[in-house]
Structure 1
Amino acid sequence: MSARLWRRGSRLLPEGATSGRAQPAMRIFGRWARGPLLPVLRLWRRNIQLRVVATTLLMSVAVVLVLGIVVMGQVRNGLLEAKRQTAISQADGGFAVAEDLANNAHDGSDPVSGQGITDPGSWMTGIVEQLASGGQGVYSVVALSSQLSSTSFTGEPGAAMRGPRASADIRPEESIPAELRQALDRDPATHRQYGTIVRPDGSSESALIVGRRLTDNDNGQYQLYYLFPFTQEEKSLSLVMGTIATAGIFLVVLLGAIAWVVVRQVVTPVRMAAGIAERLAAGRLKERMKVSGEDDIARLGESFNKMARNLQVKISQLEDLSRMQRRFVSDVSHELRTPLTTVRMAAEVIHEAREEFDPVTARSAELLLGQVERFESLLADLLEISRFDAGAASLEADHSDLRDVVHRVIEGAEPLAERKGSALLVRGAEAPVVAEVDARRIERVLRNLVVNAIEHGEGRDVVIRLAESGDGSAVALAVRDYGIGLGEGEAERVFNRFWRADPARARTTGGTGLGLSIAVEDARLHGGRLEAWGEPGGGAQFRLTLPKVAGGTLRGSPLPLEPGDARRRTVAIPAQGRGSAASGAAGGSGGSGPSGSVSTVEEDSGRGR
């Protein structure tokens, strides 16, 4: 089923796709956002001491916050309860005094001066002043008229004024909630409610309001309130909060410092061990950890040093064994040259006279000469490897046109290619490709690659490409076959000595398994590199990249490692014939996808295919 398409401007987009204009902006924003975070994330991943200390600080802050919230809640509840009890006790005492004064006022005496008085307004003012005289700054007293009173506090014409009374600079009617006044009109019992005291300047503060409906000296109903502001409680709560915050900050810093010191005592030996391990890996086998004390870290250091000593002994033994093996191979190879020369001379004499023998003996003479030549090739490879191992290989570099090297290799490999049914194709030979190389060694590398490509090419074409970088700093040769290819991970092992892609595969040209190992060493001797790519059933490609000047620095290769006709690429590109694909493979990227296998060898031990 074909995908649904949507038209956007002059372009058709698949369903669910968006225009690419927003994608660069999103990528730029993502890079901008990640930029400052990358160093922090890198430090976080690499520094265990930082992670432990940061985790300790975060957990300490969380604990301090939880404890602070709990303590502040307990303190607040305690202060409110104490305030409530004190306020109720104080208010009940004041209400009792007001009731006694009202009961005693029927004889006409003023509650303060004792003189005869009948004005309810003056009596109310005296009551408020008397009740508030002992609570300056602690509470305020307010008297308001009740809806049940027969005479309003505002009075009638000719009546005494009975407006709101207050003992402090507050707005009485705005400070007493309407619902509390209604509650007192319904029920004469004591009522309490949290409210807000409103000052004449417009400021306000929280308070506990306790009120009761009482009777005045004229048997009129009025409401008496005690207002207890939370000023002192708020100061106490602020003091407790500041103390807890100061103690919490000090505790967090102290715990962070303790964690830093403790973790440092553990991490420092680990870092020391990591540094010594890196130096051991670099070949400095005499490095040891400094051990002090008898704790776990000291035992770790002793175990590490013991491991290092054993490793040094084993490596020394292996190095001695390796030297003995290399010397043995070199000595045996040199010693075999003389008898092998004699055997070859005898084999050539017998081979030249084979026509005088019976068919069986003549065939034996041919086989004898072929095996002697194969033995000579093996002996030459062993001698060459021994020279590389001993560091005795030398480079005889001269300016050479790599096209001439390619033509010589093709002429030598054509008989094998004809027997296999493969065609040898050359791309990129239109212009000279000149570099300072040892032509003999490069020819040996290319011959090995071409012969391997023919051997594993399943009778298909073998393409040889030449190229020179645009800045003139490097040249490259690539050999591409379309045979069995390389499986996953095989491109990494293909340069190992004596390794074969398929040991059970029938081979017609013999081989020692040292060809690619020698080729790697030849490339390294030039300051270049030899790389391999392959995919199962899709063939393989080997790329030799050399600096234009022997020993120069390589910054890239003019040819891609992964060819343009690789299977992974042809999934999204219309299929082409093998010839056209080979001719266009010079472009593309040097990486490999998940279906392929890539290996780059610059300066490691010898490897072979």
Structure 2
Amino acid sequence: MPRFSLRWRVALAMGLGSVLLTSAVAVAVWNLTSGYMLRQREQSAVRQAEVNVRLVDAALSTGSDGLTGLLTGLTTGPDSTVLLFHDGQVLTSGRQVDARVLPRRLVDLGREGTPAAQRLVVEGIPVLAVTLPIESTYGAYVELAPLVQLDRTFRFLSALLVAVTVISGLLGVALGSWASRRALRPLTELTRAASRIAGGDLGARLPAQTDPDLKPLATTFNATAEALEQRVRRDARFAGDVSHELRSPLTTMVNAAEVLRRRRVEVPGTAGKALDLLTSEVDRFARMVVDLLEISRADQQAEDPTSETIDLVSLVGNVVAARPGGPVPLDTGSPPPRVLGDRRRLDRVVDNLLDNAERHAGGVVRVGVFAHGGTARIEVYDAGPGVPPELRDRIFDRFDRGTRAGRRGADTGSGLGLALVAQHVQRHGGTVRVEDRPGGGARFVVELPEAER
């Protein structure tokens, strides 16, 4: 079951609290208002009925012949009804109602001399039935006062209270969302800064905070980020210094190895094999030092001052054409994608991908360059066995040589070529990944933001 985010949990909690509070107030208002209005209507109806029953009692005591007219005059509207239970007869005035629909107990109370009142629905109309005894005879006077207006008022009040409760809940959710967004803003800034640092931007910092609860967090985070940046810079400078100091003796070693390689035929047997191993390791060591210098230089440069608009098809074509060996098929799209970046680093990206395919994957099958959904894509297809899924992220780490880890030889590499690819691509705001090639092998895909035309 998916969990709501903290922001939505806070918003929903405030909305629920608002609904509960408003519901409690609405119930109290409903009970007080409806009870008061109903009591007022009941008291008014009872007082009017008491006045009317005295007139009827007086007419019955004097034996007046105008009883029917009197009852007609006592009705207060088209929906009101007056019923007189007298001498086994029922006289009705106003809206005609069958006396049998009235509760028998209500009529009996009036005949027994006990006043009573009860809310009823008579033939679809809500009424207040008031029954009073007639003192001069064993009879009962019943008056049905309509409650249509009061019922409409109750309906309107209930609808209004429900609407207010719903609106209060929605406002509570909105207020909770706004309040939680403001409360969680420092956490959002912390997440954004941490993501930037994880992405390689070691200069990311939290803004200064004036809140006493947030100031220690921002100070601690910034101090940690500063220490991490300084550590990375020191490590990069150390690697660069070491690599730079190794260049002079390495140059001597490479030249000596080249001389020995030319005299290889003069060194037979085990000594010749040892010479082959030595020269191959010197070559690998040379490539490693060059790659370390490149990485340390990239780590120490916070910004790229040499950005320019580059025709990616032309750049890849030049790199492919400059490499030794047979021609490599180059597929391009139209129009050719253009990117904003450092030409030297992008040259190195393409060259390292081609090197990787030729040294470790049976050679390059095809290279593609085209635009796709606002990004420029470089695809390098190789003829190797492919890359297992569990190694597809690791191969871009420094000094990780995948399945060749722990082995030595001319074709094992230093484990820095693809790391340089990932670093240069990331510095250009792009991504690199490896996929299965249709038909077998691997496909390395570089995606870079396309420059505006």
Superposition TM-score tier, normalisation by shorter sequence? 0.5 to 0.7
1:63 paired to 2:3:
no
Amino acid at match of 2:254: R
Out of 117, 122, 143, the residue aligned to residue 228 of structure 1 is 143
Match of 1:369 in 2: 279
1:114-193 paired onto structure 2 within 5 Å: 123-125=63-65, 170-171=93-94, 175-179=96-100, 190=111
Q: Deviations over 1:212-250 (max 9, x none)?
A: 99999xxxxxx965242436x88888899999999x79x
1:427-466 paired onto structure 2 within 5 Å: 428=331, 444-453=348-357, 457=361, 462-466=364-368
Match of 2:401 in 1: 500
- SS of the equivalent of 1:125 reads coil
Counterparts of 1:408 and 1:386 in 2: how far apart (Å)? Answer: 26
Counterparts of 1:91 and 1:98 in 2: how far apart (Å)? Answer: 11
The root-mean-square deviation of aligned C-alpha atoms, in Å, is 6.1
Contact 2:331 2:368 survives alignment (8 Å): yes
Amino acid at match of 1:270: A
Match of 2:320 in 1: 406
1:194-209 paired onto structure 2 within 5 Å: 206-208=127-129
Counterparts of 2:374 and 2:126 in 1: how far apart (Å)? Answer: 85
- SS of the equivalent of 1:381 reads helix
1:324 paired to 2:234:
yes
1:273 paired to 2:172:
no
Match of 1:541 in 2: 443
Match of 1:360 in 2: 270
- SS of the equivalent of 1:428 reads strand
Percent identical pairs in the alignment equals: 23
Counterparts of 1:481 and 1:197 in 2: how far apart (Å)? Answer: 92
Question: CA shift at 1:371, angstroms?
Answer: 1.4
Question: CA shift at 1:63, angstroms?
Answer: 2.9
Counterparts of 2:434 and 2:150 in 1: how far apart (Å)? Answer: 78
Alpha carbons of structure 1 residues 268 and 290: separation in structure 2 relative to 1, 3 Å? farther
- SS of the equivalent of 1:226 reads strand
Question: CA shift at 1:553, angstroms?
Answer: 0.8
- SS of the equivalent of 2:257 reads helix
Question: CA shift at 1:515, angstroms?
Answer: 0.5
Counterparts of 1:475 and 1:535 in 2: how far apart (Å)? Answer: 16
1:88-127 paired onto structure 2 within 5 Å: 101=61, 111=62, 123-125=63-65
Counterparts of 1:273 and 1:188 in 2: how far apart (Å)? Answer: 74
- SS of the equivalent of 1:230 reads strand
Q: Give the count of matched residue pairs.
A: 425
1:426 paired to 2:366:
no
- SS of the equivalent of 1:388 reads helix
Alpha carbons of structure 1 residues 195 and 175: separation in structure 2 relative to 1, 3 Å? farther
Counterparts of 1:517 and 1:85 in 2: how far apart (Å)? Answer: 95
Question: CA shift at 1:471, angstroms?
Answer: 12
Match of 1:418 in 2: none
Contact 1:209 1:225 survives alignment (8 Å): no
Match of 1:515 in 2: 417
TM-score computed with the length of structure 1 as normaliser: 0.51
Contact 2:189 2:206 survives alignment (8 Å): no
Counterparts of 1:472 and 1:179 in 2: how far apart (Å)? Answer: 84
Out of 343, 362, 378, the residue aligned to residue 288 of structure 2 is 378
1:239-278 paired onto structure 2 within 5 Å: 267=180, 270-271=183-184, 273-274=186-187, 277=190
Amino acid at match of 1:175: Q
Question: CA shift at 1:377, angstroms?
Answer: 1.0
Larger Rg: 1
Out of 238, 258, 262, the residue aligned to residue 348 of structure 1 is 258
Counterparts of 1:355 and 1:403 in 2: how far apart (Å)? Answer: 38
Question: CA shift at 1:189, angstroms?
Answer: 8.9
Question: CA shift at 1:80, angstroms?
Answer: 9.2
- SS of the equivalent of 1:290 reads coil
Alpha carbons of structure 1 residues 360 and 395: separation in structure 2 relative to 1, 3 Å? farther
Question: CA shift at 1:385, angstroms?
Answer: 1.6
Question: CA shift at 1:379, angstroms?
Answer: 1.0
TM-score computed with the length of structure 2 as normaliser: 0.65
Alpha carbons of structure 1 residues 90 and 73: separation in structure 2 relative to 1, 3 Å? same
Counterparts of 1:96 and 1:448 in 2: how far apart (Å)? Answer: 116
Counterparts of 1:86 and 1:505 in 2: how far apart (Å)? Answer: 107
More helix by share: 2
Alpha carbons of structure 1 residues 360 and 554: separation in structure 2 relative to 1, 3 Å? farther
Contact 1:211 1:225 survives alignment (8 Å): yes
1:471-490 paired onto structure 2 within 5 Å: 476-481=378-383, 483-487=385-389, 490=391
Q: Which runs of 5+ in 2 are unaligned?
A: 197-202
Counterparts of 2:151 and 2:429 in 1: how far apart (Å)? Answer: 77
Alpha carbons of structure 1 residues 519 and 140: separation in structure 2 relative to 1, 3 Å? closer
Amino acid at match of 1:60: L
Contact 1:194 1:207 survives alignment (8 Å): yes
- SS of the equivalent of 2:443 reads strand
Contact 2:384 2:442 survives alignment (8 Å): yes
Counterparts of 1:528 and 1:195 in 2: how far apart (Å)? Answer: 77
Match of 1:289 in 2: 209
Counterparts of 2:218 and 2:231 in 1: how far apart (Å)? Answer: 20
- SS of the equivalent of 1:175 reads coil
Alpha carbons of structure 1 residues 425 and 235: separation in structure 2 relative to 1, 3 Å? closer
Question: CA shift at 1:378, angstroms?
Answer: 0.9
Alpha carbons of structure 1 residues 361 and 285: separation in structure 2 relative to 1, 3 Å? same
Alpha carbons of structure 1 residues 499 and 307: separation in structure 2 relative to 1, 3 Å? farther
Counterparts of 1:471 and 1:205 in 2: how far apart (Å)? Answer: 69
Counterparts of 2:337 and 2:421 in 1: how far apart (Å)? Answer: 20
Contact 1:464 1:479 survives alignment (8 Å): yes
